[in-house]
Amino acid sequence: MTDSLHFHGQDVAPSSRNRALFHIIPAPLEKSVSYGTGTFAGPTEILRASAQLELFDGKSTPADYGIFTAEHIDCHGPVKEALSNIQSVVSTALASQSIPVILGGEHTVTLGALQAMVEKHDSFGLIQFDAHADLRDSYQGSKLSHACTMKRVWDQDIPLIQIGTRSYSYEEHIFRQQHKITYFDAEKICRKGIEAVQIPETFPEKVYLTFDLDVLDSAFFPATGTPVPGGLSWYQAMWLVERCMAGRICLGFDVVEFAPVASLHSCSFAAAQLVYNMMGYLTRSTINRDFWQLMA
């Protein structure tokens, strides 16, 4: 049974729902993938690989703050029903004063999480790590395609920053220009370094992070439905996540678009390590420690 899997496996005794800082929420949604398939298996493989992680991440032990792993969300029905199910579980995490960590599944899962966030928080911004802009109004006949996720975010007046993008239509390019969406394409980051990424001072203090694994260079991380060459290196991505966590209050985050390949255990492990590293960057951030009232 996949629901018996817990993040970090037997290394960490699962925390109760009300005592865990982090709520791991597996959301195996796959309705609109348009190239490679398999994202529905991503959450389970991340959980399995997490059992191989070291508890100490090199700087601290994020698991000390408690990790609760929810049951896999039922995503078999229509996409709107699946998003409603995701919203419900994320709302439960927020009611427990916990940080939801959604494991996708295709990028559309972000919309379910944000529905819960909008109900809980008056204002916040979204920081997107992604190879794609995902700003199409409709794709292959669906407004809830993974290629439309950020357009639906924009439609809700949620401020948006895009990091690592490098594959988008001309229409999406024009949309970003016309609406003055802040973005840092991967080529600019690779040419000028992570210092090229500067979050505007006017961007909201509270943020939600969404991390599409195809933001990483496909030479390193090919296990995703739409791999694009020329992405971020591992450390570039980690340092940028760290910078985001250091400067903003993180209300929750997701890791999406992992399409496991049986022969590539390295990708499963990297995805799990990313999730755990993000927990670490959050719990070591002064602004987040103050907001979440974390003891030393």
Calculate the average pLDDT of the chain: 95
| Alpha-carbon gap, residue 202 to 194, rounded angstroms | 20
245-292, pLDDT tens digit by residue? 999 999 999 999 999 999 999 999 999 999 999 999 999 999 999 999
Confidence bin at 1 (pLDDT 50/70/90): very low
User: 147-198 pLDDT, tens per residue?
Assistant: 899 999 999 999 999 999 999 999 999 999 999 999 999 999 999 999 999 9
User: For the residues 11-22, what does the mean pLDDT come to?
Assistant: 88
User: Amino acid identity of 46?
Assistant: I
Strand partners, 125: 207
DSSP 101-129: EEEESSTTHHHHHHHHHHHH-S--EEEEE
Residue 15's pLDDT is: 85
Asked whether the predicted pLDDT for residue 202 surpasses 60, the reply is yes
User: What is the dihedral sign for C-alpha 47, 49, 55, 57?
Assistant: negative
Three-state DSSP class for residue 224: coil
The structure tokens 């927020």 sit at 94
Question: What domains, with CATH codes, occur in the chain?
Answer: 2-291 (3.40.800.10)
Residue range 41-79, pLDDT digits in tens: 999 999 999 999 999 999 999 999 999 999 999 999 999
Contact status, residue 45 vs residue 268, Cβ threshold 8 Å: yes
Residues 6+ apart with CB under 8 A from 239: 194
